Structure 1
Amino acid sequence: MSANPNVSRFPRASGVLLHLTSLPGPHGSGDLGPAAYHFVDWLHSAGQSLWQFLPLGDIGLGHSPYMSRSAFAGNVLLIDLAELHQRGWLDAADLTPTEGLSDDRVAFDRVIPFRMERLRRAAARFAASATPQERAELAAFRLEHAAWLDDYALFMALSEQFGEQSWNTWEPPLAQREAAALQTARAEHAQHIDFWVFAQWCFFRQWAALRAYANGKGVKLVGDMPIFISLNSADVWARPDLFQLDDTGQPTVVAGVPPDYFSATGQRWGNPHYRWAAHQAEGFAWWIARLRATFALVDMVRIDHFRGFESCWEIPAEEPTAIGGRWVPAPGAALFDAVFQALGPLPIIAEDLGVITPEVTALRQRFGFPGMRILQFAWGEDNGGKNAYLPHNHTHDTVVYPGTHDNDTTVGWWHNAPETVRHHLRDYLACDGGDIAWTLIRAASASVADIALFTMQDVLRLDGTHRMNTPGTAEGNWGWRFTWAQVQPHHADGLKHFGLLYNRLPS
C-alpha cells in the first residue's frame, strides 16, 4: 500500500501493448494515420481501456526508441503523410510508396529517407502557401514549446551540418554553446530550424487529435519514459552541467545494468549518468518540466528502469561491458516529492524488473506507483511457490504482463522453455500448454493486479520470429508489424470475454 495518502488506487483494467510503428499502413511503418484510429476502435470493441506503446521520441542507435535525441520532441517518422496531403502540403504522387517499403517489417533504411523527404516537401509547401491561420497556429506552438524547441531545432540543424556526429565532436564554440556562435548558427540555419519546428508542430497536432479520439472511446494512452537520455541529444548539449561529463563533453560514467536474466555480462547502455546534486540544487526543475511534457501527451506513463531512482549502476566509461560497474545512490524520494508538489500525484507505472532491493520497493510504494510482474519469469523455481511473478504472489499495486516488448513472444518463449518450466506451468495452471499465449493472457486477466497488459503478438498467438526487441543486441530490433488480415473477430471477442469474466471491462 502507498504511504502517501494523496495517491489513489488504479482502477481494474486491461489493455494491449503495441508500438505505433507496428501498425499497418502504406508508407513502410505505422504512424498517426487511419490505422491508429482503427486500432482504438478495435481496442474499444475488445473491452480494452489501455493502449501502451514505446517511447514517442525519435529513434537513435539501432533504431531504438529508447535512445532519442530529445526528452521532449516527438518522433517525426510517426507523422501521417496523408493528413499533410489533405492540408495541401503534399501532392497525391508524394504518397506513392517506393520499392522496399514492407507491410510486415519496418525497413528503416528505406522508411527514414522516404518519410523525411516527404516532410521536407511539406515544409517547403507550407512555407510558400500556408494560410495566415496556419502560420499563426505554428507561431503559437513555437512560443508555447520554446523552452525545449529552440534548442532542439538548432541541435537537429547542427547535427545535419556535422554529418550526425555527436555534439561533443562539433567545432568547440558550438559544442560549448558560446553565445556568439549560437547566434550565428541560428541565422545560418534558419530554414533548417524552421523545418524541425514545422515537423514537431505536425507531430503534436496529429498526436493531440489521436489522444482526443482515444479518450473519447474510453481508451487511455500509456506512454513509456526512459530514465536516461542519449548522450547525443539536445538535452545533454543544452544542459551539460546536469550530466556527468568531462570538459570535452565525454561521459565519465555511463548507465546500464549488471548481469541478469537477459545478459551474462549485463547491459552497457552508454547513456551519461545524471549529476544528481545539480538537479537537486535547482529543485529538480528539469525533471518537473520533462514529466509535465510527458503527461501533456499521455494519460499514464511507465518509467523504464525505475530502480535507477533509488540507486543506479555506474559503469566507468572506459569499461567495454557492464560487469565493472557499481551501485550508486540516487535521490528518488526527493525527486518525486518535488514532482508531486509541482504537478500533483501522477499515474506512473514503475518498471521494477531486474535486481530489486527492499529500498526500491519502498520508494515505489511510497508514491503509489504500481510495479510490474512478468508471467514468463514465474516458472521453474523449486522454492515453495515464493517467486514474486507467480499469480498467487501478485498484489493489486502491480501491472501484470505475459511478456513485454523485451521478452520473446509467449509462443516463442514456450517453444524454447526448459521442461522444468513447462511442467511447473502446466501443473500450476492446470493446462496442457496447447494455447500458451492465451493461457497466460487468461492468467494475467485473472490476477489480482489492478492492470493487465498483453502484447499484440500474444493476442495474435505469434511465434518468436515476431519478437520486438532482444535486449543486449544492437541490430534487427524494433521492426515488427502486423496486418489487419491477421486480426480475427475471435481476438476481440476473447479479450472482451476475459474482461467481463475478471472484472476488467471499463465501467
Structure 2
Amino acid sequence: MYRRSGILLHISSLPSNFGIGDFGPWACQFIDFLFRSGQTIWQILPLTPVNGGTGNSPYSSPSSFALNPLFISLEKLIIDGYVSLRELDYNFSFSHNRVDYDLVREFKLNILNQVFVRHLVRIENDSKFNTFCANNAFWLNDYCLYQAIKDYFQGSAWYCWPKLLRFRDEKEIKKWSQNLAREVLKQKFFQFLAFDQWQNLKNYANGKNILILGDIPIYVSLDSSDVWANSEYFILDKDKLPLFVAGAPPDYFSPQGQLWGNPIYDWKKLKKENFNWWIKRIEHNLALYDLVRLDHFRGFVSYWQVEANEPTAQNGQWIKGPGDDLFRVMMNTFDPNCFLAEDLGHITEDVLDLRDKYNLPGMNVLQFAFANAADADDANSDLPKNPYLPHNHRRNSVVYTGTHDNNTIKGWYKNELNIQQKMIVSEYIGKDINEFNVHNEFIRLALSSTAKLSIIPMQDILGLDTEARMNLPGSSTGNWEWRLLPDQLTEHIEEMISRLTYIYGRRVN
C-alpha cells in the first residue's frame, strides 16, 4: 500500500436532525469532505447495536454480526417510500453536540415500528428482503429471535430466561419462534434496512476512492446472541455462566488490572472445527469494510484470564491463545492486506513475531511517545529509542495522534502532561508548543511519519478539548456521545488538511 491518510470518526458522531449520526446525507457529505481534502481512509468504530445497560459501548454489543438500527437514516426512508416528511414532524428536542441514547431510541424505534406495521405486506413479498434473510440466516435467525425474546422479557439477559429457553431446547425454540414470529420478522426488517443503507454508503465511499476501515473486537458480550446461540465455543459452567472472564493485568495505570467480564473462548473447540465461527465472523466484517483492525491483537497470542468470581483482575493468569493456528487459516482464506493489528498494551516478543510473520501493520500512538518521558530523573535518557516517536516508526504501520480511548491531543497536553514533559514535546518538535497549536503540530508529526498509513481523530483535526473525548476506559457514563457540529467542517480545515496531506506525500486522488 502506498502512503495514505485518513480520519477517525464514528457514525454516531456525524451531524443529523435526529439526535445521532446515521447512514444518511451527512455521511455522504463527510465522504465528500474526505475526498476534497485528499483522504483515502475513513476509520469507524464497530457498527453493532449498543446497550444502554453497558454504557452504549459499541465494544459491548448484543451481537457481533448485527448493525445498529439507530444508524438507519430516516431521510433515506423517505426516499424509499417508507415514511413521509410529515411523519417526522417530531416533538423531541435533540442535542446537536451530544448523543442522548435513551431519547434517540425512544424516537427512532417508534418511527421504525410504525414503518414495519404499515409496510408488513410489502416487506413479506420483497424479494430483496427475502434474499437478504436467506444470505444471512447463519447469524440473523438467532440474533432476531434473541432480540425478540429479550424485548418480551423487558431486556432481561438470556442467562436469566426460563431454563429450557436458556439451554435452547429444540421444542422450546420452535414454540417461541412461532409465538414471536412477527417480532422476529420486525428485527429482520430493521437489519435489512440498516445493511442496505450501509452498503449504499460504502459504495459511495469506494466510488470516491475512499476505503472504510472497520474494527473487530476480539471478545463478545456474555449477554449476546453470539454466546446464547454458540455457547459451545465459550468456557461456561453447567448453568451456562462463565468460568473465566477476560481482562488485563495490573499495570502502572491500573493497580488492580482491568476486569472486562467477557466470556473466554474455548479455543480448543474452535480449532477442532477449523475456527469456522471466527472465519464466518471475519468474512462478514470484510463484506462490511475494506480493511479491518484486529482489536486486542495480543489476545490471539496469549490472554489474561480471571476466574469469574474474582472482584478484580489482579489474580488472573496468562493463557496461550490460538496464535498461528488461527492466523494460518485466516491468511489462507482472506487477503492479508485487509488487516491491521492493534498491538498496544502489554506486548511481548511472541506478539510481534506473529504480527510480523503475516506482515500485519501495527499501531503507533504519538501520545505514548511522551506520556512517560519525564518519569525518570534523566527524562531524556530513553527518549530517542521510544518506538512511538516518528523517527522510530516502522513503514508497515499506522500512526495515530490518539485513538477513541485516548484524550484529545489538546486535552492530553493541558491535563495529562507535566511541565517537564511539555518541554520535551517542544524540544522534539523544535518550536514552542502550547495548548492552542499542539494539535496542528501532532498532525504534522503523524503525516510526516514514515508509517505508510496515518489516521487522525476528527477531534484532533479540530483542536478540541477534553469534553470532545470519545471514551474514558473504566468509566460507565458520558462515553460515545460526542458529535461533530455541521459548521465545524470549514473550508479552512479542508484546505489545511489537503495541503498537509499533499506536502507529506499522502495525497493519492
Shorter-chain TM-score: what band? over 0.9
Aligned residue identity for 1:169: C
Q: Which residue of 2 aligns with 1:460?
A: 462
Deviation per CA, 1:335-356, whole angstroms, max 9, x where unpaired? 0111122234241111111110
Q: Which residue of 2 aligns with 1:69?
A: 62
Aligned residue identity for 2:85: A
CA distance in 1, matches of 2:458, 2:275: 36
Q: After the TM superposition, which residues 122-161 of structure 1 pair with which residues of structure 2 at under 5 Å, given as runs?
A: 122-130=115-123, 132=125, 135-161=126-152
Deviation per CA, 1:354-382, whole angstroms, max 9, x where unpaired? 11001101111111111111101101253
Q: After the TM superposition, which residues 357-396 of structure 1 pair with which residues of structure 2 at under 5 Å, given as runs?
A: 357-379=348-370, 380-381=373-374, 382=379, 383-396=382-395
Q: After the TM superposition, which residues 476-487 of structure 1 pair with which residues of structure 2 at under 5 Å, given as runs?
A: 476-487=478-489
Aligned residue identity for 1:351: E
Q: Which residue of 2 aligns with 1:202?
A: 193
Aligned residue identity for 1:394: H
Aligned residue identity for 1:332: G
Greater shift after overlay, 120-129 or 23-32? 120-129
Q: Which residue of 1 aligns with 2:78?
A: 85
Q: Which residue of 2 aligns with 1:428?
A: 428
C-alpha spacing 1:156/1:391, structure 2 compared with 1 (3 Å): same
Q: Is 1:30 equivalent to 2:21 in the alignment?
A: yes
Q: Which residue of 2 aligns with 1:471?
A: 473
Aligned residue identity for 1:377: F
CA distance in 2, matches of 1:375, 1:261: 19
| Aligned-partner SS, 2:55 | helix
Q: Which residue of 1 aligns with 2:159?
A: 168
Unaligned runs of 5+ in 2: none
CA distance in 2, matches of 1:450, 1:101: 40
Aligned residue identity for 2:99: V
Deviation at 1:81, TM superposition (A): 1.2
| 8 Å contact from structure 1 (residues 100, 107) kept in 2 | no
Alignment match of 1:118 (pick from 111, 114, 124) = 111
Q: Is 1:449 equivalent to 2:451 in the alignment?
A: yes
CA distance in 2, matches of 1:147, 1:174: 19
| 8 Å contact from structure 2 (residues 401, 446) kept in 1 | yes
| 8 Å contact from structure 2 (residues 244, 264) kept in 1 | yes
Q: Which residue of 2 aligns with 1:415?
A: 414
CA distance in 2, matches of 1:296, 1:50: 16
CA distance in 1, matches of 2:174, 2:89: 40
CA distance in 2, matches of 1:112, 1:102: 14
CA distance in 2, matches of 1:205, 1:259: 43
Q: After the TM superposition, which residues 321-332 of structure 1 pair with which residues of structure 2 at under 5 Å, given as runs?
A: 321-332=312-323
Deviation at 1:160, TM superposition (A): 0.8
| 8 Å contact from structure 1 (residues 32, 207) kept in 2 | yes
CA distance in 1, matches of 2:497, 2:36: 9
CA distance in 1, matches of 2:22, 2:400: 25
| Aligned-partner SS, 1:378 | helix
CA distance in 1, matches of 2:107, 2:268: 44
Aligned residue identity for 2:69: V
CA distance in 2, matches of 1:384, 1:131: 64
Aligned residue identity for 2:463: R
Greater shift after overlay, 88-97 or 194-203? 88-97
Q: Which residue of 1 aligns with 2:89?
A: 96
C-alpha spacing 1:97/1:131, structure 2 compared with 1 (3 Å): same
CA distance in 1, matches of 2:271, 2:124: 45
Q: Which residue of 2 aligns with 1:4?
A: none
C-alpha spacing 1:389/1:198, structure 2 compared with 1 (3 Å): same
Unaligned runs of 5+ in 1: 1-9
| 8 Å contact from structure 1 (residues 262, 471) kept in 2 | no
CA distance in 2, matches of 1:324, 1:355: 16
C-alpha spacing 1:398/1:260, structure 2 compared with 1 (3 Å): farther
| 8 Å contact from structure 2 (residues 234, 265) kept in 1 | yes
Deviation at 1:261, TM superposition (A): 5.9
Aligned residue identity for 2:225: A
C-alpha spacing 1:374/1:16, structure 2 compared with 1 (3 Å): same
| 8 Å contact from structure 1 (residues 138, 198) kept in 2 | yes
| 8 Å contact from structure 2 (residues 123, 189) kept in 1 | no
| 8 Å contact from structure 2 (residues 11, 44) kept in 1 | yes
Deviation per CA, 1:43-86, whole angstroms, max 9, x where unpaired? 00110000001001111311000011111111111000121122
| 8 Å contact from structure 2 (residues 408, 469) kept in 1 | yes
Q: Which structure 1 residue ranges, 4+ long, deviate > 4 Å from structure 2? A: 129-132
C-alpha spacing 1:261/1:476, structure 2 compared with 1 (3 Å): farther
Aligned residue identity for 2:430: A
Deviation at 1:431, TM superposition (A): 2.0
| 8 Å contact from structure 1 (residues 263, 472) kept in 2 | no
Greater shift after overlay, 80-89 or 17-26? 80-89
CA distance in 1, matches of 2:446, 2:383: 21
| 8 Å contact from structure 1 (residues 22, 30) kept in 2 | yes
C-alpha spacing 1:130/1:197, structure 2 compared with 1 (3 Å): closer
Deviation at 1:129, TM superposition (A): 4.3
Provide TM-score, normalisation by structure 1.
Answer: 0.96
CA distance in 1, matches of 2:32, 2:343: 31
Q: Is 1:241 equivalent to 2:232 in the alignment?
A: yes
| 8 Å contact from structure 1 (residues 410, 437) kept in 2 | yes
| 8 Å contact from structure 1 (residues 340, 346) kept in 2 | no
User: Aligned pair count?
Assistant: 496
CA distance in 2, matches of 1:453, 1:351: 13
| 8 Å contact from structure 2 (residues 62, 223) kept in 1 | yes
| 8 Å contact from structure 2 (residues 220, 262) kept in 1 | yes
Q: Is 1:400 equivalent to 2:402 in the alignment?
A: no
CA distance in 1, matches of 2:481, 2:430: 35
Deviation per CA, 1:268-305, whole angstroms, max 9, x where unpaired? 11110100001001000001100000000100011111
Aligned residue identity for 2:272: A
Q: Is 1:217 equivalent to 2:208 in the alignment?
A: yes
CA distance in 2, matches of 1:187, 1:174: 14
Provide TM-score, normalisation by structure 2.
Answer: 0.95
| Aligned-partner SS, 2:384 | coil
| 8 Å contact from structure 1 (residues 51, 221) kept in 2 | yes
| Aligned-partner SS, 2:283 | helix
